[in-house]
Amino acid sequence: MAGRIEARLAEMGIELPEPVAPLADYVPFVRTGNLLFVSGQLPIGGDGLAAGQLTAADHAADGVPAPGSKLALAAEAAALCAVNLLAQAKAATGDLDRVTRVVKLTGFVSCDATFTQHPQVINGASSLMGRVFGEAGRHSRAAVGSSSLPRGAIVEVEGVFEIE
């Protein structure tokens, strides 16, 4: 029987995928005390990996990504990273209802030095956590640029969760 968080995901039309195996010599998550650290997740979904790199040409004049723009697609990729974080958290806890708080997200955006709208991209992950967990989904965050990411991904997001 699905818990309330998985029911909310289902209402949102989100099905958790099988967690992706690590790409190198690390573990997908570590629990210490009541904190769960989930390794960076790439935007891997049914259509494969969302890849690419952003530049100043991809900026939104008002900071709001236009539907279908490369900036909007990168924000959607960040949301997919968040879904993959939740898949790992479920694998770690057995039940997403055990997550009592999203503590912190760190997002990495593949971009060149001219791109400065990292927060707008990582908002995709942050917004998803807020919709899924409500007030407990509000978190601290970092959003930074990187000249490259594993496998050419456009974004990567890692997370820290408080669990019971």
CATH of the domain at 135: 3.30.1330.40
> In this predicted model, what pLDDT tens digit does every residue of 27-61 receive, in sequence order?
999 999 999 999 999 999 999 999 999 999 999 98
**With contact defined as beta carbons under 8 Å apart, do 19 and 41 qualify?**
no
138 or 64: whose pLDDT is higher?
138
For residue 86, the enclosing domain spans: 4-14+27-163
Name the residue among 24, 127, 41 with its Cα closest to residue 87. Answer: 41
Q: How many domains does the chain have?
A: 1
**What pLDDT does residue 23 have?**
85
Q: What is the pLDDT confidence band of residue 1, given thresholds at 50, 70 and 90? A: low
Whether 136 maps to a domain, the answer reads yes
**Residue that has been written with the tokens 């995709």 in this structure:** 124
Please give the helix or strand (H or E) that residue 129 lies within, else none. helix 118-133
Structure tokens at 65: 């990504």
> In this predicted model, what pLDDT tens digit does every residue of 112-154 receive, in sequence order?
999 999 999 999 999 999 999 999 999 999 999 999 999 999 9
Structure tokens at 96: 């997403």
